[in-house]
């Protein structure tokens, strides 16, 4: 692998970011940070989806323009990602000229290829989904299953994309490429959806939706979400139907496109068909994550349980986002639904980050100061095979798990290695060795513990970059997070720390989260 390109779903800016949005972006940032430890060229794309009827209606209700609403809310998303330590390479907005111009070229290319045609249509439209639904998709009461609202019956003449033309090719691609759709338990779901697939509307009449990119050569129509929003993954790279940019040639196909399970159909089927029509290679993997519930209840504005990430950081008085980052991506296996609760958040990060990892470093450094004035002597540098082998095995396993995007499981490996080191300390009791005058043996134990902490800092970095940096600093090491440099950057003999420089890298959380006043309504 000489490059790694990851994309997120782009967030719809009809409202402010909540922890469901945050979960996906933190997850992707953790993945990208990990791969940046293994290769030099990682490109991470995220952004905002800024067209459609919901934005138009919300802007009208506030008596502002749709563009003003988009500017306001897109800025809110970008600020939230900065607060959560998310370091993307590019942020694409679908109202940017670089996107709009290319989308129009893509539309024209699809027309030239004979894959778009005009058709009068009567259908059931869900504004929440921004999608036309079939009667078989509805609940027994005739409601959209996701939004529990009755779709609007719409009669329009729109442009349609020949999705059915690519049905067999998509099925073949899925079967020939086992890693294309992840997790693998989603494959049968997509295959079943393909069995009943129909051509899709890719434009709306301006009388219905005016806030969108105009269809080339037809000012009465605007390009609908699937060609508009989905194309961001290549427009951001400078894709052009005639002369693609060097950046596009370098990074496409995406190594992984991470999306929520509710939009898997649109990516696995619609996006694949559009790319096939364009003659563009499909992404290597499309990974669908689960949802985040609040106290085991799906987030809903009507229930008042939609929580903003900033409110959690404020309620627990967290100056850095590491605890929230760690908790969010370890709350569930990739593809499964996760849950947020105040008590579980506090208990998990206190157990894993404060008690297990943080306390292990803190007491080991304090013993090094107490017994050796903070110095590792040359005679202490002797590897204990138990700890050395456990650490090397953890490093290998973490990388293997990240290769399969098993992010929560990789974190468990780190925690288990920290448990092993804590047991090593308990079994060897360096305080007893010092009391008995066995100072060299005591020093060897502390060296092995602190060397293990260095490896923990490397593995923990994607989840908790600030805590990882503090561990390196307290070990008096230059921040070195590349896996290729693990062996050459071992702790050396010399002064490591002084007592006044030792403080918990992650203090225990004792604040309670909050009342409804601190939740986003």
**Full DSSP string of 423-481:** HHHHHH-HHHHHHTT-HHHHHHHHHHHHHHHHHHHHHHTTT-HHHHHHHHHHTT-----
**pLDDT of amino acid 146:** 74
**pLDDT of amino acid 125:** 77
**pLDDT of amino acid 521:** 27
Where is 403: in which H helix or E strand?
Answer: helix 385-403
**pLDDT of amino acid 479:** 78
- For helices 407-428 and 439-460, give the axis angle rounded to 10 degrees: 170
Q: How many residues in the chain?
A: 521
Enter the CATH code of domain 341-501: 1.10.730.10
**pLDDT of amino acid 86:** 98
**pLDDT of amino acid 114:** 98
Give me 270's structure tokens: 């619609």
Low-confidence stretches of the chain (pLDDT < 50) are 511-521
How many other C-beta atoms are found inside a 10 Å radius of the C-beta of residue 2? Answer: 7
What are the residues whose beta carbons fall under 8 Å from the beta carbon of 218, sequence distance 6 or more? 159, 203
Q: Which residues belong to the active site?
A: 18, 21, 126, 129, 144, 147, 298, 301
**Full DSSP string of 191-227:** HHHHHT---EE-EEETTT--SSEEETTEEEEEE-HHH
Q: How many Å apart are CA 134 and CA 355, to the nearest integer?
A: 53
Q: SS3 of 70, please?
A: helix
**pLDDT of amino acid 302:** 54
Where is 161: in which H helix or E strand?
Answer: strand 152-161
For 147, 176, 402, 514, 520, the CA distances from 301, given in Å and listed in that order, are 12, 42, 34, 17, 8
Query: For residue 509, what is the DSSP state?
Result: P
Query: 310, 307, 306, 305: which is closest to 321 by C-alpha?
Result: 310
**pLDDT of amino acid 518:** 37
pLDDT tens string 378-393? 999 999 999 999 999 9
- Whether this prediction's pTM lies above 0.75 is answered by yes
- For helices 385-403 and 439-460, give the axis angle rounded to 10 degrees: 0
Residue pair 108/216 in contact (Cβ under 8 Å)? The answer is yes
**pLDDT of amino acid 141:** 82
pLDDT tens string 175-188? 999 999 999 999 99
- Spell out the alpha helix ranges (H) of 38-148: 53-62, 66-83, 97-112
How many other C-beta atoms are found inside a 10 Å radius of the C-beta of residue 114? Answer: 10
Residue ranges of domains in the chain? 341-501
- What is the phi-psi region of residue 272: left when phi exceeds 0, alpha when psi lies from -120 to 50, beta otherwise? alpha
**pLDDT of amino acid 139:** 87
Give me 156's structure tokens: 């329009």
Q: How many Å apart are CA 269 and CA 267, to the nearest integer?
A: 6
């Amino acid at each position: 692998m000489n490059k790694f390109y990851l994309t997120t779903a782009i967030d719809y800016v009809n409202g402010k970011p909540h922890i469901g949005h945050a979960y996906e972006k933190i997850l992707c940032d953790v993945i990208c940070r990990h791969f940046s430890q293994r290769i030099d060229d990682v490109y991470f794309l995220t952004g905002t989806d800024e067209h459609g009827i919901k934005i138009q209606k919300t802007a009208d209700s506030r008596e502002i323009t749709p563009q003003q609403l988009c500017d306001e809310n897109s800025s809110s998303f970008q600020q939230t990602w900065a607060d959560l330590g998310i370091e993307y390479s590019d942020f694409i907005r679908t109202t940017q000229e670089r996107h709009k111009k290319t989308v129009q070229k893509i539309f024209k290319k699809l027309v030239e290829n004979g894959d778009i045609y005009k058709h009068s249509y009567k259908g059931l439209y869900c504004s929440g989904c921004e999608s036309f639904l079939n009667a078989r998709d509805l609940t027994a009461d005739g409601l959209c299953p996701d939004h529990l609202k009755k779709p609007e019956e719409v009669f329009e003449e729109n442009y349609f994309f020949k999705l059915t033309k690519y049905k067999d090719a998509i099925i073949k691609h899925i079967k020939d490429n086992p890693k294309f759709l992840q997790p693998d338990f989603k494959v049968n779901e997509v295959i079943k959806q393909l069995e009943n697939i129909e051509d899709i509307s890719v434009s709306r009449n301006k009388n219905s939706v005016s806030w969108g990119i105009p269809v080339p050569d037809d000012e009465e129509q605007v390009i609908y979400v699937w060609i508009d929003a989905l194309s961001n993954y290549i427009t951001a790279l400078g894709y052009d139907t005639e002369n693609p940019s060097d950046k596009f040639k370098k990074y496409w196909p995406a190594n992984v496109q991470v999306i929520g399970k509710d939009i898997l159909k649109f990516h696995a089927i619609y996006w694949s068909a559009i790319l096939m029509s364009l003659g563009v290679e499909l992404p290597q993997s499309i990974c669908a994550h689960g949802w985040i519930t609040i106290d085991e209840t799906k987030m809903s504005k009507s229930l008042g349980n939609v929580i903003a990430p900033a409110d959690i950081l404020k309620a627990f008085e967290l100056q850095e986002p590491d605890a929230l980052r760690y908790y969010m991506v370890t709350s569930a296996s990739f593809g499964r639904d996760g849950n947020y609760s105040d008590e579980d958040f506090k208990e998990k990060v206190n157990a894993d980050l404060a008690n297990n990892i943080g306390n292990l470093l803190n007491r080991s450094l304090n013993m090094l100061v107490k017994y050796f004035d903070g110095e590792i002597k040359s005679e202490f540098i002797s590897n204990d095979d138990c700890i050395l082998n456990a650490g090397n095995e953890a490093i290998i396993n973490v990388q293997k798990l990240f290769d399969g995007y098993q992010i929560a499981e990789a974190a468990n490996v780190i925690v288990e290695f920290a448990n092993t080191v804590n047991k090593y300390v308990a079994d060897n009791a360096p305080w007893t060795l010092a009391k008995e005058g066995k100072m060299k043996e005591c020093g060897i134990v502390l060296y092995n513990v602190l060397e293990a902490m260095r490896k923990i800092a490397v593995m923990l970095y994607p989840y908790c970059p600030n805590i990882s940096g503090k561990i390196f600093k307290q070990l008096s090491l230059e921040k070195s997070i590349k896996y290729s440099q693990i062996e050459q950057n071992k702790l050396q003999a010399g002064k490591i720390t002084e007592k006044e420089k030792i403080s918990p890298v992650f203090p225990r959380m004792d604040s309670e989260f909050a009342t409804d006043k601190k939740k986003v309504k």
